[in-house]
Amino acid sequence: MPPRKKEYGIKRASGSLVHFRAPVSATTIRRHSAVVPSVLTFAVIVASGGLLLMIEKGMLNSVQTPPPRANGRKVEYRLRSSSDTAADVESQIVQEIRNRTIRSVCGQRNMPHSVWSLSPLQRKTLLQHILVNDEHRFLYCYVPKVACSNWKRVLKVLSGALANVDIKVKMDHRADLVFLSDLPPEEIRHRLRHYFKFMFVREPMARLLSAYRNKFGEIEAYQRKYGAEIIRRYRKGYAKDKKISGNDVTFTEFTRYLVDEDPERMNEHWMPIYNLCQPCAIEYDFIGSYERLESDASYILERVGAPQHVRFPERQTWYKPVTKETLHYYLCTVPQKFLKELLPKYILDFSLFGYPLPNTTTEYCRH
């Protein structure tokens, strides 16, 4: 490996060092500080509790926010190999603003501040979604539809259950994996206190669309269990039909179903990320982004000391990505009144992880 470049940083009150790649000129900083106002506006809106009002007004559609990196209380800045120091400085600026936003939201009195302050249902959901690796001393909170199957492959390779990530076997999402919920309270506390903790997030509506296309377009068990019920509830004339296959649920019907569901009791594939991983109750050391999956996954493997031969799996050739155009098309098929009811259920996923709300105005959808 090439030698690391000299690091620079400033001491925080806590004693931790915030790293910078190299000093840059004031001119460079001024040129890239234009990113600050829009993101800062987003932070102020969240901190003041006015986010739901902004949805109604449609004022957040143009706000641009950075990809997620960490939760604000334990900042893990990743040093990039790029020589573009200006881009590094810009990334650090927006990360710090996002971290302050998260700290502001999680600092509210009504927010949980530890795993043990959660309700029994919330704690059960959380602990069932945190995977443990004792050899490399890390905890991973998995989020369905955010590359969690590939991360589970990686964990199985690290534990020796799989020889490598490319072996063609049907993924068993429980076997050869250790969940935090399997451990007694004192061991849970120890690992939460001493292990490296990470999770990955994704643009909330893209994640929902991915779940919709996968579960209702490909998985018969989901079509029978959820699809048939959704059609009976929301499609006129089908309320008493017992022969529904459930394989033709529309995205609007799926949206209406989500509006009526309790987020804490949703299926994990469309439960809000916040409810799955509780980023206010756990101080994650790193929050990776699905949109930067390759680089963020490489960083995690390096950070936990994974052997050189262990790598993150490449996406399968059959994988159908959710493009911006595809997401735009599906969201614009949903009546605005349903979207206005849906977005508040995922508002913490948008605000905490730095994703702008989707623009679904009539004028925008017309194009």
Q: Is 144 annotated as a binding residue?
A: yes
Nearest to 80 by CA among 30, 19, 35: 19
Q: Is 147 annotated as a binding residue?
A: yes
Q: Is 149 annotated as a binding residue?
A: yes
Q: Is 334 annotated as a binding residue?
A: no
Q: Is 204 annotated as a binding residue?
A: yes
Q: Is 206 annotated as a binding residue?
A: yes
Q: Is 112 annotated as a binding residue?
A: no
Q: Is 150 annotated as a binding residue?
A: yes
Q: Is 208 annotated as a binding residue?
A: yes
Q: Is 321 annotated as a binding residue?
A: no
Q: Is 201 annotated as a binding residue?
A: no
Q: Is 100 annotated as a binding residue?
A: no
DSSP assignment of 119-172 = -HHHHHHHHTTEEEETTTTEEEE--TTSSHHHHHHHHHHHHTSSS-TT------
Task: To the nearest 10°, report the CA torsion of 146, 150, 153, 158.
Answer: -80
Burial pattern 335-352, b for ≥16 Cβ within 10 A else e, equals eeeebeebbebbbbbbbb
Using DSSP, state whether 112 is helix, strand or coil.
coil
Q: Is 148 annotated as a binding residue?
A: yes
Q: Is 239 annotated as a binding residue?
A: no
Give the contacts of 200 (CB within 8 A, at least 6 positions apart).
143, 146, 147, 148, 151, 287, 288, 289, 290, 293, 296
Nearest to 133 by CA among 115, 153, 114, 156: 156
Known binding site: residues? 144-150, 202-210
Known binding site for 3'-phosphoadenylyl sulfate: residues? 144-150, 202-210
